[in-house]
Amino acid sequence: MLTWWLLWRVPALLGIVMAAWWFGVRPVLQERGWVAVETRFALCGEGSAGAGGCVVDGDTVVVFESVGEPRRIRLMGFDAPELDGACETERALARKAREALHEWLGEGPFEWNGGAAPPRDRYGRELRRARRASGEGEEPEMLAEAMIARGLAARGGRDAPKADWCE
C-alpha cells in the first residue's frame, strides 16, 4: 500500500539526485577535455611557413600537422566579421579581428576544449572554445569574451542572430 511517506520520498530523492548531477558531476565533466595548446600562430599567407598554425580570420585558425592534412578550427562563442564582408566597414573590422585573434593567441599558452575528437561544423572544421588561465583561483579568460569586449565580435552560437556589421 502506498502511503504519503513513500509518495513524498520519491520526488525528494529524485530532486537530490538531479541536484547532485547539476552541481556536482556536470561541472566536472565540462572541465574535462580541455587541451593545452602551445602552438605558435602566424597570419595565414604572411610568413606562416615556420609556425605551427595560422590565423585565417577573426574566428578561424589552421593547425599544421607533420603528417596529414592541416586541421581547420572554428573558435566558438563569438562571431567575427568576414574578411570578404558586405561593406568596407565589415572588412576593416574583420582585419582588426584577425589581428586581435593573432595577438591573443601569441600572448602565451592557452587551452581549448573538445579533446581529441571535437565536434565539427558542416564545413568539417573542428569546433572549439579557447581560454587562458588567469591567476591562481581566478576564472580563466575566455577568448570569446575578450573579442566581444574589444568590439571585434558579436555573441555567437546557433541561436544568436547574425550581426550586421554594415549598419
Does 6 map to a domain? no
Q: Which three cell numbers stand for residue 104?
A: 591573443
**Is the per-residue pLDDT at 29 higher than 50?**
no
| 12, part of any domain | no
Considering only residues 13 and 84, tell me which one the structure prediction assigns the higher pLDDT. Answer: 84
Do residues 142 and 129 lie in contact, with contact meaning Cβ atoms separated by under 8 Å?
yes
Note the pLDDT tens digit of each residue in 99-114.
999 999 999 889 999 8
Per the structure, the complete domain to which residue 55 belongs is given by 35-155
Q: What is the DSSP string of 61-128?
A: EEE--SSSPPEEEEEPSEEPPPTT-SSHHHHHHHHHHHHHHHHHHHTS-EEESSTTS--B-TTS-EEE
Residue 129 in this model has a pLDDT that exceeds 90: yes
Domain-located, residue 165: no
CATH number for position 44? 2.40.50.90
Within a domain: residue 13? no
DSSP state of 38: -
Tell me whether residue 91 is in a domain: yes
Structural domain total, the chain: 1
Does residue 96 lie within any of the structural domains?
Answer: yes
pLDDT at 57: 96
* Selected residue with higher pLDDT from 4 and 141: 141
pLDDT tens per residue across span 34-83: 999 988 999 998 766 667 999 999 999 999 988 888 999 999 999 999 99
Cell of 88: 568596407
Does pTM top 0.85 for this prediction? Answer: no
Has residue 18 been placed in a domain?
Answer: no
Residue 167 lies in a domain: no
End-to-end CA distance of the chain, in Å? 68
Does the pLDDT value for residue 13 go beyond 50? yes
The candidate with the shortest Cα–Cα distance to 96, out of 106, 81, 108, 110, is: 81
